Amino acid sequence: DLFRPIIQPGCNVSHFILRIFNRWGQMVWMSYSPYEGWDGTFQGVPQEIGDYMYMIELTAGTKGKQTFRKGDVTLVR
């Protein structure tokens, strides 16, 4: 499974950054594509089960609305 946003078909995304951080604040994953997702690894090594913080920045839609979201995702295996 992958953690990534669900982008509605036809939605124009002109700017996108998704970052994932571990509990120590170390960035373990980053992508500039809304179609890529985090698979729970860091440099090819499966990460510990637990909570990770995510931050998403994007500009999307016909009006180019800028959006910033952050939250937690729980990694389970």
- Percent helix, strand and coil across the chain, each to the nearest 5: 0, 55, 45
The string of pLDDT tens digits covering residues 36-66 is: 999 999 999 999 999 999 999 999 888 888 9
The string of pLDDT tens digits covering residues 20-36 is: 999 999 999 999 999 99
Q: What is the pLDDT of residue 38?
A: 97
Q: What is the pLDDT of residue 9?
A: 86
CA dist 65 and 35 (Å) reads: 19
Question: Are 53 and 76 within 8 A, CB to CB?
Answer: no
pLDDT at 4 over 90: yes
